């Protein structure tokens, strides 16, 4: 919404505005580009110039979208999905990402999944079984094993610690 607003203020006509990607109908001058960059910086955003950095940001955006905002199970494995979504060979994407970020795409994806699990555990609105289903784990045991490997805690113990830190309103 911020990007659309800034584009409208500057009088640009856009075809596409989605997470990490903007397609503007007209060619813009360097001065207009600098104005857009300045406006976005004021909102905490930044234009990316480097093609490789843009690809890495797009990889990150796809991961965030899949883990945090999509309820749908992928019908193909994530590497094929990412490759099709970004129109690049997965090996190229994986090498580029690892070289730049110092971690693999798989580890970055797993880290986001575990952070999402933590968030859902703290909300305490759905069970661990429902969390496993929601995040497309093959079983609760698989989720629990990954969670313990990444955090050193079981999901149940993590939930217990988080709930213990919260006080009832009557106790405040």
In the chain, what are the domain boundaries?
A: 1-47, 50-172
End-to-end CA gap in the chain: 38
Token pair belonging to 131 = 């969390």
84 or 161, greater pLDDT: 84
Longest dimension (CA), the chain: 61
Tell me, what's the pLDDT at 88? 95
Q: What is the b/e burial string over 37-65, where b = at least 16 CB atoms within 10 angstroms of the residue's CB?
A: bebbeeeeeeeeeeeeeebbbbbbbbbbe
Nearest to 25 by CA among 10, 46, 43, 37: 10
Give the E-state strand segments of 25-105 in sequence order.
none
Query: Residue for token digits 């890495």?
Result: 56
Tell me, what's the pLDDT at 72? 75
Tell me, what's the pLDDT at 168? 46
Residue 66 to residue 136: CA distance in whole angstroms: 11
HSE-up of residue 129 (Cα within 13 Å, Cβ side): 0
* pLDDT band per the 50, 70, 90 thresholds, residue 167: very low
Question: What architecture (CATH level 2) is domain 50-172?
Answer: Orthogonal Bundle (1.10)
Tell me, what's the pLDDT at 169? 42
Using the 8-state DSSP alphabet, how is residue 44 labeled?
A: T
44-103 tens-digit pLDDT:
877 766 688 889 989 999 999 999 888 777 778 999 999 999 999 999 999 999 998 999
Nearest to 82 by CA among 92, 133, 71: 92
Per-residue pLDDT averaged across 124-131, rounded?
91
């Amino acid at each position: 919404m911020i990007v659309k607003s800034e584009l409208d203020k500057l009088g640009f006509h856009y075809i596409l505005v989605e997470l990490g990607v903007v397609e503007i109908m007209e060619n813009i001058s360097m001065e207009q580009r600098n104005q857009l960059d300045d406006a976005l910086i004021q909102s905490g955003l930044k234009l990316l110039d480097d093609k490789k950095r843009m690809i890495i940001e797009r990889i990150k955006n796809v991961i965030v979208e899949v883990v945090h905002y999509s309820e749908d199970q992928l019908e193909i494995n994530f590497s094929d999905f990412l490759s099709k979504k970004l129109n690049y060979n997965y090996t190229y994407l994986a090498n580029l990402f690892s070289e730049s970020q110092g971690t693999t795409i798989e580890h970055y994806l797993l880290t986001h999944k575990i952070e999402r699990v933590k968030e859902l555990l703290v909300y305490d609105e759905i069970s661990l079984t429902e969390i496993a289903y929601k995040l497309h784990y093959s079983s609760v045991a698989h989720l629990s094993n990954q969670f313990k490997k990444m955090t050193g805690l079981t999901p149940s113990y993590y939930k217990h610690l988080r709930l213990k830190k919260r006080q009832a309103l009557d106790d405040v």
